[in-house]
């Protein structure tokens, strides 16, 4: 059972540098503090991920170079969601940093958005830490002897990493100070929900004991809701 990967996983500070250059180029000024806030949070996640996963050699290899069997709909997901993510970040920088299309957000909105961002990243890392089969693509890992994960947040919903990704993804535009950027990020969130549905069907059909697990843990994404 794989969960969503951050755009720049552990150790890829070069990717963060490219993202930073894009953000401040779009903002048109180096004192765009919301950009520094977002990049600081992203850097912390990278460091924590590296520390948590430093002994998970097999999982790290799977995430960087997944085995064969990626589903066609997952390829479509990446083809659509990746541009939407970058569009949201760049649009947010253009909005809050340069043109100010959105109203100025109050300080408590930033605190709330940052709290949701941290909570989402924390849930994503927790799911990744307990699930030895947390691949970066949707496939059944026959080559790694994939089994059902029932530990940690998987006791409460079947796709907790996706829930974490949804939370920090939707919080990102607000951390960056933009309301308009919620549009592309919201579309990316809808794609993630569709990915959840497709993956859940795949796991029920092809992964041993997942059907039984789905009867014990009834909620796919949001505990108590769906």
Lowest mean pLDDT among 49-53, 88-92, 160-164: 49-53
Report the candidate in 211, 157, 171, 189 with the shortest Cα–Cα distance to residue 41.
Answer: 171
Confidence of residue 95 (pLDDT cuts 50, 70, 90): very high
Lowest mean pLDDT among 39-53, 123-137, 142-156, 191-205: 39-53
Q: pTM for the complete prediction?
A: 0.90
Report the alpha-carbon distance of residue 146 to residue 166 in Å, rounded. 25
Neighbours of 42 (CB within 10 A): 22
Q: Please compute the mean of the pLDDT values over residues 8-26 and round it to a whole number.
A: 76
Q: Taking all residues of the chain, what is their mean pLDDT, rounded to a whole number? A: 91
Report the alpha-carbon distance of residue 166 to residue 173 in Å, rounded. 12
Per-residue pLDDT tens over the stretch 162-175: 999 999 999 999 99
Q: Please compute the mean of the pLDDT values over residues 172-201 and round it to a whole number.
A: 98
Per-residue pLDDT tens over the stretch 142-157: 999 999 999 999 999 9
Domain boundaries, the chain: 13-216
Neighbours of 196 (CB within 10 A): 22
Please tell me the CATH code under which domain 13-216 is placed.
1.20.120.1630
Report the alpha-carbon distance of residue 116 to residue 171 in Å, rounded. 6
Contacts of 174 (CB under 8 A, 6+ apart): 105, 109, 110, 112, 113, 182
pLDDT at residue 64, as a whole number = 81
Written as one string, the DSSP assignment of the chain is: ---PPPSS-TT-HHHHHHHHHHHHHHHTSTT-HHHHHHHHHHHHHHHHHHHHHTT-HHHHHHHHS--S---HHHHHHHHHHHHHHHHHHHHHIIIIIII--SPPPPHHHHHHHHHHHHHHHHHHHHHHHH-TT--SS----GGGT-----SGGGGT-S-HHHHHHHHHHHHHHHHTT-STTHHHHHHHHHHHHHHHHHHHHHHHHHSTTHHHHHHHS--SSSTTT-
pLDDT at residue 58, as a whole number = 82
């Amino acid at each position: 059972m794989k969960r969503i990967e951050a755009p720049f996983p552990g150790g890829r500070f070069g990717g963060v540098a490219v993202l930073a250059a894009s953000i401040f180029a779009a903002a048109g000024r180096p004192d765009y503090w919301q950009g520094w806030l977002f990049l600081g949070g992203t850097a912390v996640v990278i460091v924590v991920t590296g520390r948590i996963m430093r002994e998970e050699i097999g999982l790290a290899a799977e995430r960087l170079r997944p085995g064969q069997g990626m589903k066609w709909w997952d390829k479509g997901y990446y083809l659509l969601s990746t541009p939407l993510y970058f569009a949201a970040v760049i649009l947010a920088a253009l909005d809050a940093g340069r043109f100010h299309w959105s109203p100025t957000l109050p300080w408590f909105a930033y605190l709330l958005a940052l709290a949701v961002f941290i909570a989402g990243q924390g849930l994503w890392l927790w799911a990744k830490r307990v699930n030895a089969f947390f691949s970066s693509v949707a496939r059944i890992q026959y080559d790694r002897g994939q089994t059902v994960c029932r530990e940690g947040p998987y006791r409460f919903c079947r796709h907790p990493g996706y829930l974490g990704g949804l939370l920090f993804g939707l919080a990102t535009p607000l951390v960056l100070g933009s309301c308009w950027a919620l549009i592309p990020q919201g579309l990316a969130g809808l794609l993630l929900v569709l990915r959840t549905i497709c993956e859940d069907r795949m796991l029920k059909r092809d992964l041993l004991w997942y059907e039984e697990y789905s009867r014990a843990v009834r909620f796919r994404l949001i505990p108590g809701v769906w």
